[in-house]
Every structure is written in structure tokens, then in C-alpha cells.
Amino acid sequence: MTDRPVRAPRHRADAAYARGEETRRRIIEVALRLFSERGFEGASTREIAKAAGVNAPALQYYFDNKEGVYRACAQYIADSSGAHFGPVVEKTKAVLDDPAATPDQLFEAFGGMLDALTDFQLLPDDAEYRRLFIAHEQIGHAPGVLFEIFDKSLRPQMGELSARVVSRYCGMPVSDPLLAMRVMMLCGQVMVFSLGRRTMLTKLGWEQFGPEEVATIKRASREHSRVLMDQWRAQAQGAAGGR
């Protein structure tokens, strides 16, 4: 009796996995849009499933319930944030690890962080949905899942690195509350274009925040930051010389 050849399965397991991941990703993209437009309470799992082209049991299979879908959306934003800011974080760390880093190198490190923040806030196709998703959390219309994730990873790291760079450049103690406020104000000049997107576009006469418009914002934010940081540096040096 001869052994029969083993036939390959009609549907490969890796193909099924790929389709499952594609479905899961599609549900997250749809849910992100609906949560951003309507808030957590205003978006139902039935609407999310229908818009994603799946049935309710399929949604439950991937995420259990609405809270699970929402958390997956928050994790998606957090993961994309980490991937986006990862390279600039490493560059900034390298500059800070160099005790001989020049003021120009320190400023370039901070400018790189501002540039990355501007790109992330304005350029991706889903930037508007992410912005609204975050806004719902900020005003209490959704679970604070995203900020819970951010506070364990990206936000404290970015805040610490920004403070250390500005501290080194300006000669201010990193523990000075005034330094923390100044760093927030420097970053805020970029954030305002995201938070007030429609108003800013109207006032500037722009149709969109495309690459050219974003490059203009980056240039202006760097110029403003350099003027302010040079002033703070001169103040710190003057105060040190007067002692």
C-alpha cells in the first residue's frame, strides 16, 4: 500500500491571517472616523460594522464590544505616533548625550521635534480624525484610553526631551516651572493649526494643509522659536553674570 501525497490545504493559514488582519484594520479605520465624528456614545457597533462591510458577530470576534473597538483605535493612534516620532527621538537623544553639542545642534534637535509634530498633526490622511478623536477625550466625551496609553510612553518622553534640549540651549534649570511653560508655548504654536484647522485655513486663504503650506508653518515656527530661545538664553546669561 502506497502512501497518498498530502494535499496542501485549499486556503492557506497565512492567507486567512492576512485577510483577518485586513478586516480588523478596516474596522479600526471606520471606527476611528465614526468615533471622531460622533464621539464614543454617538457611534454604535452596528453602524461601525455596517460601514466596515462586516456583520456584528465579526466585529465582536475581533474586538468583543464597543470598548474594545475604541481601545483598538486608541492603540492605533499611539502606535502610529510612536513610529512617526521614533527617529527624531533617537536623534535628539544622541545630541543630548553629547556634552560638547553646540547651540546650533541643540536648536536643530528641537527644530526637528517641532517639524515632526507639525507633520503628524497636519499631513496624514487621517489627521483630522485623529485630532477629533483626541478632542473628544479632552472634553470628556469618550473614555480617556488614548491619554492613558500616551502617559505610559510617548508623552512623557517627548516632554522630557523637549525640556532637556531647551534647558541646555537656554541655560535654565530643567526643573524650573517657567521652562515647562515655555516648552508648552513653543509646541503650542504648531498645535494651534491643528486645533483650529478650519479657522486657520480660512484666515490664511489656504484650501488645505499640504506639503507647501506645512513647510511654511515649519519655517515660521522655527524662526519664532529661535528668537524666543535666544532671548531666554541672553536673560539666563545676564542673570548669571550679575551674581
Domains and CATH numbers, the chain: 13-241 (1.10.357.10)
pTM: 0.79
* pLDDT of 242: 61
Q: What is the DSSP letter of 141?
A: S
Least reliable range by pLDDT among 66-75, 121-130, 181-190, 223-232: 121-130
Phi-psi region at 53: left, alpha or beta (left = phi > 0; alpha = psi -120 to 50):
left
In the predicted model, is pLDDT for residue 5 greater than 80?
A: no
- In a 10 Å sphere around its CB, with 0-12 CB exposed, 13-18 middle and 19+ buried, how is residue 103 labelled? middle
Sign of torsion over alpha carbons 75, 79, 85, 86: positive
* pLDDT tens profile 138-170: 888 888 888 888 888 788 889 999 999 999 999
Long-range contacts of 118-124 (CB under 8 A, 24+ apart): 118/190, 118/193, 118/214, 118/217, 118/218, 118/221, 119/84, 119/214, 120/81, 120/84, 120/85, 121/190, 121/191, 121/193, 121/194, 122/193, 122/194, 122/209, 122/214, 122/217, 123/209, 123/211, 123/214, 124/80
* pLDDT of 9: 44
* pLDDT of 239: 82
* pLDDT of 14: 53
- In a 10 Å sphere around its CB, with 0-12 CB exposed, 13-18 middle and 19+ buried, how is residue 78 labelled? buried
**Residues 206, 84: contact at Cβ < 8 Å?**
no
Q: 114 by DSSP, 3-state: which?
A: helix
Give the integer Cα–Cα distance in Å for 165 and 183: 10
**Residues 110, 117: contact at Cβ < 8 Å?**
no
**Residues 228, 186: contact at Cβ < 8 Å?**
yes
Q: What is the DSSP letter of 53?
A: T
Q: What is the DSSP letter of 196?
A: T
* pLDDT tens profile 42-99: 999 999 999 999 998 999 999 999 999 999 999 999 998 889 999 999 999 999 999 9
The average confidence (pLDDT) of the chain is 88
* pLDDT tens profile 93-119: 999 999 999 999 999 999 999 999 999
Confidence of residue 131 (pLDDT cuts 50, 70, 90): confident
Q: What angle do CA 77, 28, 61 make, to 5 degrees?
A: 130
Confidence of residue 4 (pLDDT cuts 50, 70, 90): very low
